[in-house]
Amino acid sequence: MTEMTQQAAVRTRPTLGKRFRLWLADLRHHPGQVIWLAIALALAVSFAFPLYFMISSSFKAESEVLAIPVHWTPQDFQGLLNYQRALETVPLARYFMNSFLMAGIDVVVTVIFSAMAGYGFAKFDFPLKRLFFVFVLSTIMVPFQILLVPLFIEIHSLGWDDSYAGLIIPGIMNAFGVFMMRQFAYAIPDELMDAARMDGASEPRIFAQIVFPLLSSASASLAVIIFLFSWNNFLWPLIVIKSQEIMTVPVGITVFTQPHSAQPQWAVAMAVSTLATLPVMLLFVFFQRYFIEGFVLSGLKG
């Protein structure tokens, strides 16, 4: 992880002034690209605008958010007041802790077990292998709503109502991770493992010390994607969570979308929304490469 952070830091370091000069020179040499630049600029601005409005509204006074005519920038700048109010309205720190806990466990478990299963499917032969693989893979195709009611009842009969176990465990694995890891595990030369076996290494040890490190790039892509899905997961937490103690961020902030919530708190809602999006935004900025790779590979959006 530290290595990747350094790399990212190094990549963004080259001085901005120099980059800008290069950019201008490039533009002058190839004027044809101006059209594409203009189209792309229009696309980027129109798609990023709602998020700009979210962030800028989080610094507005309450009456400004829905003001007529529209306030495009905060005119009565509130500083961090709305953020402070958000923290007073709901136990946001607790929500964040729960979301980080859930996403963290999801990431660790998914990566490790997907790597294990992917390796097993790629490099071993055993009875029922094909059946098992098709079974695991088929879970990608099935919409979650089908599972909603029976899974809720199953969790209930396990006595996991309104608990971290009920919240986290049913979503802790992801078939896509298995599929992705299998693809990467195929690429590992058999000789590496065979040599280790000759030296008398045990199978778990080969996995931990040889195979898993070779899967680290794939693991990073899988990890950021799982983090995003888990962080934004809504439907299952909505159903299973009852108490504030285990509430996650997306469910907790629906308080601000309730039509009958007591207070008009649009500015506070914008502050909360900004906070809720901040972790994934940071993750995206720092681990962009893994993000894009993971997205392209997963083909899923929560």
Partner 1 sequence: MQRRQIWGLFFVLPTVIFFAIFFLYPIVSGLLFSLTDFTLLRPPEWVGLQNYADLLKDRLFLKSISVTLGFVLGTTVPVWILSLLAAKVFYQRFAGREILKVLFFAPVLPSLVVVAIVWRILMNPSGVMTTLLRPFTGLGEIDFFNNPTLSPISMILINDWTTIPFYMLIWLAGLTGIPLELRDAALVDGANRWQSFLRIELPLLRPTAVFVAAISTINAFQAFTLQYAISPGRGGPIDVNTTMGLLIWKYGFQFYRMGDASTVSVVLFALILIVTILQLGLSRGEQYSLE
Partner 2 sequence: MFRRFVLAFVTLLLIVSMVPTAYGQGPVTVKLWMHVHPPRVALDEELIAQFEAENPDIDVEYTTVPDQEWDTALATALASGGGPDLFNQATFAMGDFYNQGILAPIDPVAAGYADVQAIFDAYSFGDSLLAGAVFDDVLYGLPTELSTYACYANDDLWAAAGLDPATDFPSTWEELKDVAEQLTIRDESGALVQRGFDFHWGNSIFTLLIFNPMVQQLGGNMIDEVNLTASIDTPEVRQVMGYWNDWVNTWKLGGPQYEIDRTAFLAGNLATDCDFGNWGVPQMVDAGINYSIHPQPRWAEAVSNNAMATYAYFFMVNSGASPEVQAAAWKLAGFLTDHPQEYFDVAGLFQSKKSFVESEAFAENEIMPIFLQEMGVSLYHPRIPGFFEVADALMRGRDRIIVGGESMDVVLPELEQEVNDILARAAAR
Contacts (CB under 8 A) with partner 2, residues 238-277: 241-244, 258-264
In the chain, the amino acid numbered 97 is M
Question: What, of partner 1, partner 2, none, does residue 57 touch, CB below 5 to 8 Å by kind?
Answer: partner 1
Residues in the chain: 302
195 binds, among partner 1, partner 2, none (CB under 5 to 8 A by kind): none
Residues 6+ apart with CB under 8 A from 87: 93
Reference 250, options 194, 179, 302; nearest CA is: 302
Give the one residue of 59, 83, 95, 179 binding partner 1; rule: CB under 8 A. 179
Least separation in angstroms between residue 153's CB and partner 2 is: 7
- When asked if residue 14 is in the footprint of partner 2 (CB under 8 A), the reply is no
Q: Which amino acid is it at 288? A: Q
Residues 73-112 that bind partner 1 (CB under 8 A): none
- Regarding 43 and contact with partner 1 (CB under 8 A), the answer is yes
Cβ atoms of 250 and 276 within 8 Å: the answer is yes
If we measure between CA atoms, which residue out of 239, 97, 245, 254 comes closest to residue 161?
239
C-alpha 256/C-alpha 160 separation (Å) is 27
Q: Which stretch binds partner 1 (CB under 8 A): 77-85, 90-98, 125-133, 216-224?
A: 125-133
- Check binding of 40 to partner 1 (CB under 8 A): yes
- According to DSSP, residue 244 is labeled G
Q: How many CA atoms lie less than 13 Å away from 174 in the CB half-sphere?
A: 26
Which of the listed partners (partner 2, partner 1, none) does 63 bind, with a CB threshold of 5 to 8 Å by partner kind? Answer: partner 2
The residue assigned the tokens 């859930």 is 102
73 binds, among partner 2, partner 1, none (CB under 5 to 8 A by kind): none
Under DSSP, is residue 153 helix (H, G, I), strand (E, B) or coil?
Answer: helix
Q: Which amino acid is at 256?
A: F
The contact mask relative to partner 2 for 105-144 (x = CB under 8 A, - = no) is ----------------------------------------
Among 227, 256, 287, 290, binds partner 1 (CB under 8 A): 256
Euclidean distance between CA atoms 174 and 216, whole angstroms:
17
Answer yes or no whether residue 61 interacts with partner 2 by CB under 8 A: no
Nearest Cα neighbor of 272 from 259, 261, 257 is 257
**Scanning residues 156 to 175, which ones bind partner 1 (CB under 8 A)?**
169-170, 172-173, 175
Rg (Cα) of the chain, in Å, rounded? Answer: 24
288 binds partner 1 (CB under 8 A): yes
Q: What is the DSSP letter of 170?
A: G
Per rule CB under 8 A, is residue 149 in the interface with partner 1? yes
- According to CB under 8 A, which one of 19, 156, 197, 205 is a site residue for partner 2? 156
Nearer to partner 2, 61 or 101 (CB): 61
* Residues near partner 2 (CB under 8 A): 62-63, 66, 68, 153-154, 156-159, 161-162, 241-244, 258-264
